[in-house]
Structure 1
């Protein structure tokens, strides 16, 4: 799925000042989410992880399609409840405070992913006070090996989940938590995995492990959350995740487990493709033998490239107008570094990338910018103006 370039060009042509904007294609998002959900087995509950992009317009567009929304803070709960009073919410995150848990109950959160004994103790205590029994999944930091991915969330020492030996001790005393209904397990162990075959193998391992615990500890198991973690191929040499093949294999796998609901919580794979980030070239210069294009923008708006230290994919949209008597800096058939306007050498969006031609006044369009762009960035560093955010 791509953004309508003609609409982007019309937007650029209408600007009287330096261009700096995110543009999101909601029509494309609707088509994309439908293409993801249609081949999924019926037993899969598909949550959108709103940390990837939590704009109200995005949530409204996704609301008719998804089973629910996965959140990781009280602020995200409020964003979801502002568009729907009853859509299912799954509340994750390693740092849930007593205040947040109490507020989540008040906002009708239907499922909690608990990551420590203290979180179980807190929620059980709150539920007892309110005379409720709350559905929970226990988040696992497993001992078994996991496939490689850009981010490893578990399977090693991280702040996420309950390590497997401690979890098994907790499962021996689930009856102590009288106001918690432990309906299953949450395995969000990897992020940005591009290999659908290894992803299926991981899901199969999650299911096998959960079923072993069900038998060993006499659990009433109904739901296994296999996380998100499906990646986006940002680099041309990367092979894209084959969603169709993944769904085929998942359907075959789940035929053997008709009584189990599988939950997924995808963010990047849903919203990345529907957004672009536009940044006008404001200067071109050379230092110590390397060329640099300075942009109206940078990682205070779009932090993903510098966070992952990758060259983000882009296109250059040329602009012919140059209404000045002084020379227009440009560079042709040469490598150049695309950097932002911040006072730090880390403000780089693509380093020493080959371009055919780039001029001051042209606009760089960074693709696949609909996830983890604006929403993970330090917006007010140096107090530059925020970009426009346009929804087609």
Structure 2
């Protein structure tokens, strides 16, 4: 549901014909991040996954409520440290280059998540003269991923057989300090499914780390907390998760999680206006300014993106009532669809459509230069 401050700002955007626009409610973001922090009460540690939305204002707003940031490229690493200097950083992601690893060492990144024996060998060579490095080995466990929106299989991390090859490398490079295990196995899970997955990770990681001689082990349980675009009011149950993870944690270990989408998604809206309403082969279409090149989420997820229609001050042109309508953008492709065959009470040219849940994996994953339409404006509420 659109917040009062965002709805009020949409009126100003309409008066200025300043569409499309991203409108971010920073108070809502801080409140939600604070709720998560309060529920977890300091354990596990929270590292925000910057890939969800690396907007500098998002990073700075979230920073007081998290213990650090997870980055997945050298570009993200530099970007986050520029926005929030001195932050604790966990550097993950497959295919790290020599330049990225060197940069991570020079910037004294707190933890480097190693994805393969080859990457570990490369890091050993680079870090010997740099005082070593603190590493987490990323494990990719097999198991039931039923109900997951995305299973992180294939090239991510090492299966238990491959990870054994890291023992010899670590023994030959004592300047590499093994701190623990990282595992991000799936995304889109509810609290109970996340807890079952955490149990699976801990059951494997604890004996392996003990056999490797790691004292005070760290276990990064990843992210993947579910977000429901069909029912936005149904949010991840942080209280249930917190209660369960407290029971799982042992006194000598540090647990860590990496929420991204579940922390940032509710604070953003993509707002635009209706350019045309027309019928084709019995189906009604609302043509909106902008398109999915500016908010890639609906196409990526293959869903009807949640929205709210705000009537225009003086609607003009065609209108339609009480029929299913498909919302499309300005791209020259039939795939440019925000929502398909959604029942509406009324929509007219000049109305404003505010797509909610645009605070994560929206603008930052979009191919916004396709067809070279004007880029959206960005607005942060409350305004200075």
Shorter chain as denominator, the TM-score bin is over 0.9
Partner of 2:204: 209
Partner of 2:20: 20
Stretches of structure 2 that go unaligned for 5 or more consecutive residues are none
Shift of 1:173: 4.8
1:272 alignment partner, one of 257, 265, 271: 265
Partner of 2:241: 246
Q: Distance in 1 between matches of 2:101 and 2:358?
A: 32
Q: Is the 8 A contact 2:321 2:345 kept in 1?
A: yes
Partner of 2:160: 164
Q: Is the 8 A contact 2:21 2:378 kept in 1?
A: yes
Question: How does 1:94-113 map onto structure 2 within 5 Å?
Answer: 94-113=94-113
Shift of 1:41: 4.4
Distance 1:248 1:374, change over 3 A: same
2:288 alignment partner, one of 271, 282, 295: 295
Q: Is the 8 A contact 1:94 1:159 kept in 2?
A: yes
Cα deviation 1:323-372 (Å, max 9, x = unaligned): xxxx6111110011101111111111101111100001111111111000
Are 2:171 and 1:175 aligned? yes
Q: Is the 8 A contact 1:315 1:364 kept in 2?
A: yes
Are 2:335 and 1:346 aligned? yes
Partner of 2:75: 75
Q: Mean alpha-carbon deviation: is it higher for 261-270 or for 17-26?
A: 17-26
Q: Distance in 2 between matches of 1:37 and 1:57?
A: 19
Partner of 1:58: 58
Partner of 2:151: 152
Q: Distance in 1 between matches of 2:147 and 2:215?
A: 32
Are 2:349 and 1:360 aligned? yes
Count of residue pairs the alignment pairs up: 380
SS class of match (1:82) = helix
Q: Is the 8 A contact 2:277 2:348 kept in 1?
A: yes
Partner of 2:311: 318
Q: Distance in 1 between matches of 2:7 and 2:85?
A: 37
SS class of match (1:311) = coil
Distance 1:221 1:174, change over 3 A: farther
Q: Is the 8 A contact 1:23 1:277 kept in 2?
A: yes
Q: Is the 8 A contact 1:48 1:70 kept in 2?
A: yes
Are 2:331 and 1:335 aligned? no
Q: Distance in 2 between matches of 1:176 and 1:391?
A: 51
Q: Mean alpha-carbon deviation: is it higher for 245-254 or for 144-153?
A: 144-153
Q: Distance in 1 between matches of 2:81 and 2:62?
A: 14
Shift of 1:221: 5.0
Cα deviation 1:99-141 (Å, max 9, x = unaligned): 11111222221111110111111111111132x1211111111
1:383 alignment partner, one of 365, 368, 372: 372
Q: Distance in 2 between matches of 1:58 and 1:239?
A: 22
CA RMSD of aligned residues (A): 1.8
> How high is the TM-score relative to the length of structure 1?
0.92
SS class of match (1:278) = strand
Q: Distance in 1 between matches of 2:7 and 2:280?
A: 35
Q: Is the 8 A contact 1:172 1:217 kept in 2?
A: no
SS class of match (1:162) = coil
Cα deviation 1:243-278 (Å, max 9, x = unaligned): 111111112222xx1111111111101110001110
Shift of 1:239: 4.9
